[in-house]
Structure 1
Amino acid sequence: MLKLRLLNAVAPAYFFTATAVTFIFHFGFFIPTIFPSQGISLDGSKVLHTVIFLFLMFNALGNYIMTIKYPAESANETVIPVCSPHCSDKVDAHYLLNGRHFCKLCKKVILKRDHHCFFTGNCIGNKNMRYFIMFCIYTSCTCLYSLVLGVAFLTVEYSISFENPLTFLTLLPFSTGYFFMGTISGLQLFLVLMLYVWLGIGLVCAGFCCQQVLLVARGQTWCQMQRGQLAENCNPWRANLKDVFGTRWMLGLILPVQTVETCSEDHRHNIQH
C-alpha cells in the first residue's frame, strides 16, 4: 500500500513535469527552428502549428482538471461500509454491493468504479469517465504530435534522415554512446529520450482509450472485467455511450466542458429505492 500511495503522489508530478518539458521544447526549440521568423511578417505554417499544439495541450490539461474536479464517489454515503472477508480485491479497493467499491487510496465509496488512476490521484467512474477518455485522447495526440515535430527538428537542425525506419530504432543507443564520448550534449540526448517518451505515452494512451470506449459501449467496467463478471446492462451501445458522454458530446470533443449530469447516478439510485 505504501508503494501505491507513493505512486499516487509521483505520477501527477511526472505528468506536470513532462507537460512543462513538452511546452518548453515546442516554443523554445521546435517552432523557432522548423519555422524561422522572416522579418516582421507572421508565417502561416508557424501560426498553424502553434494553434494546433495549444489546442491539444489545452484540452489535455482541461480534461485532466475536469477528471479531478468531478470525482466518482457517491454523495450519499455517510458511513464507510465494511467489506466482506471473502472479497478478492485486496490491492487498492474493496468490492461492495450494487456496483460500489471502497477505494483504500481515495478513502471513498466509488459508484461504478472502473479503476484508480494514479496520474489524477483519484478513481475513475461513471461521473468522470468522459473527461478521462478525452484526457487520454488529447494526451495521445499531443505526444504523437510532439514526436513528429521532434523528428522534424532533428532533421532540420542536425540533418538526420529518418527515411530508413532503423534510424529511429537506433537513435537512442547511438546518441547515448555519442554522449559518453563527448560528441553531443546532455540536452541533445535528453531530446532524443523525450522522443521515445512521447512515443510510449502516445501509444499507451491511445490503446487505453480504445479499451475504455469499448468497455463503456458494453456497459461494463474494468473492475467487473477483472472479476470475471458479465455486464448486467442490457441497454444498446448508443445508450451506454450517451450515458457517459452526454447529449452534448460533440461539444465535449473540442472543449473540456461538462456534458453530463454529475449527480445523475445518485439521483437514479434514490428514485429506484
Structure 2
Amino acid sequence: MLKLRLLNAVAPAYFFMATAATFVLHFCYFIPTIFPSPDTSLRGSTALHTVVFLFLMFNALGNYIMTIKYPAESANETVIPVCSPHCSDKVDAHYLLNGRHFCKLCKKVILKRDHHCFFTGNCIGNKNMRYFIMFCIYTSCTCLYSLVLGVAFLTVEYSISFENPLTFLTLLPLSTGYFFMGTVSGLQLFLVLMLYVWLGIGLVCAGFCCQQVLLVARGQTWCQMQRGELVENHNPWRNNLKDVFGTRWILGIILPVQTVEITHSFKDRSHISNVKLLYSA
C-alpha cells in the first residue's frame, strides 16, 4: 500500500514535468529550428503547427482537469467499510455491491469503479470516464505529434537521417555512450530521452484508450473484467457509448466541456443504507 500511495503522488508530478518539458522544447527549439526563416510562405506553416500543438495540449490538460473535477465517488456514502479477512479483491479496493467499491487510496466509495488512475490521483468511474478517455486520446496525439517534430528537429539541426529504422532504435544507446564520452551535451541527451518518452506514452495511451472504449461499448468495467464477472447488458453498444459520451459527444471531442448530465440510478441510491454490508466472494 505504501508503494501505491507513493506512485499516487509521483505520477501526477511526472505528468506535469513531462508536459512542461514538451511545451518548452516545442516553442524554444522545434519551431525556431524547423521554421527559421521569417518568410511569408513559412508563417502559415509555423502558425498551423503552433495552433495544432496548442489545441492538442489544451484538450489534454482540460480533460485531465475535468477528470479530477468530476470524481466518481458517492457523496452520500461517508461510512468507511471494514474489509472482511476473506475478501478476495485486489489490494487497492474492496468490492461492495452493485459495482460499488471502496478505494483504499481515495478512501471513498466509488460508483461503477473502473480503475484507479495514478496520473490523476483518483478513481475512474461513472462520472469521469468520458473525460478520462478523451484525456488518453489527446495525450497520445500530443506525444506522437511531438515525436514527429522532435525527429524533424534532429534531422534539421544535426543532419540525422531516419530512413533506416535502426537509426531510431540505436539512437538512445549511442547518445548515452557519446554523452559519457563528452561528445553529446546534456540537452541533446535529454531530447533523445524525450523522444522515447513520447513514443512510450503515446502508444500506451492509444492502446489503453481503445481498451476503455471497447469496455464502455460492452457495458463493462475493468474491475468486472478482472473479477471474471459476465455483465448481462441488453442495451446496444450505441446506447452504452451515449451514456458515457452524452448526446453532445461531438462538442466533447473538440472541447473539454461537460456533455453528460450527472444522475444516479435508483439502484445506486437504494443501496446507500447498506454501506456497512460487505460482499464476501
TM-score (norm 2): 0.93
| Cα shift readout 1:155-203 (whole Å, capped 9, x = no counterpart) | 0000000011111011111111111111110100110010000000000
Contact kept in structure 1, 2:94 and 2:102, CA below 8 Å: yes
Residue identity opposite 2:244 in structure 1:
V
| Cα shift readout 1:211-260 (whole Å, capped 9, x = no counterpart) | 00000000000000000001132211111100000110000001000001
The answer as to 2:163 corresponding to 1:180 is: no
C-alpha distance in structure 2 between counterparts of 1:78 and 1:161, whole Å:
59
Deviation, 1:205, is 0.2
Contact kept in structure 2, 1:110 and 1:125, CA below 8 Å: yes
Identify the residue that residue 65 of structure 2 maps to in structure 1: 65
C-alpha distance in structure 1 between counterparts of 2:190 and 2:228, whole Å:
43
Residue identity opposite 2:135 in structure 1:
F
* SS in structure 2 at match of 1:138: helix
Residue identity opposite 2:246 in structure 1:
G
Deviation, 1:77, is 1.1
| Greater relative contact order (CA < 8 Å, ≥ 6 in sequence) | 2
C-alpha distance in structure 2 between counterparts of 1:236 and 1:119, whole Å:
31
Contact kept in structure 1, 2:78 and 2:108, CA below 8 Å: no
Q: 1:219 to 1:5 in 2, by over 3 A?
A: same
Identify the residue that residue 38 of structure 2 maps to in structure 1: 38
Map 1:154-233 → 2, pairs under 5 A: 154-233=154-233
C-alpha distance in structure 1 between counterparts of 2:265 and 2:107, whole Å:
18
| Cα shift readout 1:27-78 (whole Å, capped 9, x = no counterpart) | 0000000011416887100000000000000000000000000000012213
Identify the residue that residue 132 of structure 1 maps to in structure 2: 132
Identify the residue that residue 148 of structure 1 maps to in structure 2: 148
Map 1:101-140 → 2, pairs under 5 A: 101-140=101-140
| Cα shift readout 1:74-124 (whole Å, capped 9, x = no counterpart) | 122132333444321141000001110000000000000000000000000
Structure 1 unaligned regions, length at least 5: none
Alignment length (residue pairs)? 272
Q: 1:71 to 1:33 in 2, by over 3 A?
A: same
* SS in structure 1 at match of 2:3: helix
TM-score (norm 1): 0.95
Q: Supply the RMSD in Å over aligned alpha carbons.
A: 1.7
